[in-house]
Amino acid sequence: MSSTATMPGQRSAMKAAGAQSRRAVKVMAVSAPEKPSSSAPAVPAGLNKFSSRITQPKYQGASQAMLFATGLREEDMIKPQVGISSVWYEGNPCNMHLMDLAAEVKKGVEAMGMVGFRFNTIGVSDGISMGTDGMSFSLQSRDLIADSIETVMSAQWYDANISLPGCDKNMPGTLMAMARLNRPSLMIYGGTIKPGHSRMDGSVLDIVSAFQSYGAYSAGLINEAQRVDIVRNSCPGAGACGGMYTANTMASAIEALGMTLPYSSSIPAEDPLKKDECRMAGRYMLELLKSDLKPLDIMTYKAFENAMVLVMATGGSTNAVLHFIAMARACGVPLTLDDFQRVSDRTPFICDLKPSGRYVMEDIHKVGGTPAVLKYLDSKGYINRDCMTVTGKTMGGNLAEVPELRAGQDVVLPVEKPIKQTGHIQILYGNLAPEGSVAKITGKEGLLFEGEALVFDNEEDMITMVGAEPNKFRGKVVVIRYEGPKGGPGMPEMLTPTSAIMGAGLGKECALITDGRFSGGSHGFVIGHVTPEAQVGGPIALVKNGDKIVIDVEKRVMDMKISDQELAARKAAWKAPPLKATSGTLYKYIKNVSSASTGCVTDS
């Protein structure tokens, strides 16, 4: 069966999805400001307050000569200039279509009488680099994206920014730049990928299916033909990884934050509605410039609360913790690990989405999109309705205009019958993590795990052992250390280890703790972001094979059962291993990056 073939039972859902999508476009189009008539001035005077620094003074003639060379005309010199930054590159399905989307944004900007200048920034594919040293470059790409957008926007004197991210670190990187610049800005998400389908049995596949195929193959649960079928059919085209993994988590949360147009996070990458959204962005951008509504007017503490609520309700990635803290810092908004625990304690987990559930982001689109989820949460009192958004309306104003969740759907459960009464993200402290750690507990794993430590000083050794001797992991607390921001370096994601564990059928028989991160695709009894990290002498560096470790989620404690005296003796004998990079970009990152508990920022 073709991976793009319509599956049994999908036709009615697709028909309903089409109707729901048309309603979405109608809402966006009706809400959009009117396009000026051809006889009226396209843009009021004075909206070019940054670009006028180079387009107006006679002494900036060389600047103007350069702009004329790009094709601008005399009348363009008084128009506001919009920097259109896309995280485009060909080698990743999450990003490969963003150049085309940026072209549509430019059309929409110019149709409103403004000048649009496209530029790119860099990206790293976590899916491609996962399980290799390439993952050391992933998290730092977030800050490089922020730095590069800030650099181009500032040096070129653009008046506003529209950013088009696609993959995990892209979203927080663009938002951090917007906060630093504080010029009218909005984000357009590149969109989610369609689900893949097995050619052998028609089952639904996604990128995590491909990751877990190795563990299943090693454990003898599937054969080589099945493994190849999964790998070749998991990713059918453009778009970000399909479940509620990091990219979709961050896109949804940023929509809840108010920095995208409604439906941006849930419209799939290859849906025609995505290009409609891109063209429509120019109309909203003109209004943002007219009203001088800027990112720091939108990204307030209460708006971050809305974003955290959506992450908890949807079962989103633990990476949101790291990225929100970094984004909030760029906004001057105080946000800590404990804020996540507070929101988690009052927010039910209600969306049955992968990696722990049945559905993918396209299914959210089919039942009404992210705005419908927010509207439902708002009806139950979980949303701060007075937060401003890039539409120029409050969150409550936006939600008043959107349709409700489709009747009869089972992707989003009632808050009265949730998957879990509270959020899946839990903040744990204890003698293993005195500065905190981040657990992803959906409820299916249990709330207590005790076992002996099985310690690895790197990810590769653990992957080798689980492939060769999976039974050694039963009942153990697997510790993967020296994978933090400085030690990794770059705090790589442990999706390959968690996928190997789940694929081998060990998901309920061992726990995994690390000073690295977890992909949004990770699930199981997993605790990451352990701080202080091993490279700086944190307690995780002192664990030995056989040490008893207790993880108690209800008490929010993670301890190794050794005496304070023994812990002190081990600390006195510990020596930091050599840094894994001594020059180049990773060395600069090691020297500048803060701890995971403060967002892994590089400008503190």
Instruction: State how beta strands 557-560 and 548-552 pair.
Output: antiparallel
Distances from the Cα of 387 to the Cα of 52, 269, 285, 302, angstroms: 31, 27, 18, 7
141 in catalytic set = no
Question: How many angstroms separate the CA atoms of 483 and 489, rounded?
Answer: 6
Instruction: State how beta strands 548-552 and 437-440 pair.
Output: unpaired
Count CA atoms within 13 Å of residue 239 on its CB side. 29
Torsion over CA: 456, 462, 468, 472 (sign): positive
CA angle (228, 232, 238) in 5-degree steps = 160
| Residue among 213, 218, 519, 522 flagged as catalytic | 519
Question: How many angstroms separate the CA atoms of 101 and 276, rounded?
Answer: 10
Question: How many angstroms separate the CA atoms of 99 and 120, rounded?
Answer: 9
Quickly list H helices, 245-318: 246-257, 272-291, 295-298, 301-314
Question: How many angstroms separate the CA atoms of 204 and 324, rounded?
Answer: 31
Residues 6+ apart with CB under 8 A from 400: none
Q: Which of 445, 546, 527, 521 is nearest to 480 (CA)?
A: 527
Distances from the Cα of 464 to the Cα of 231, 408, 496, 553, 580, angstroms: 20, 46, 11, 29, 21
Place of tokens 């995780």: 540
SS3 content of the chain, % helix, strand, coil (to 5): 45, 15, 45
Could you tell me the two tokens for 195?
A: 């689900």
Question: How many angstroms separate the CA atoms of 475 and 497, rounded?
Answer: 16
**Active-site residue numbers?**
519
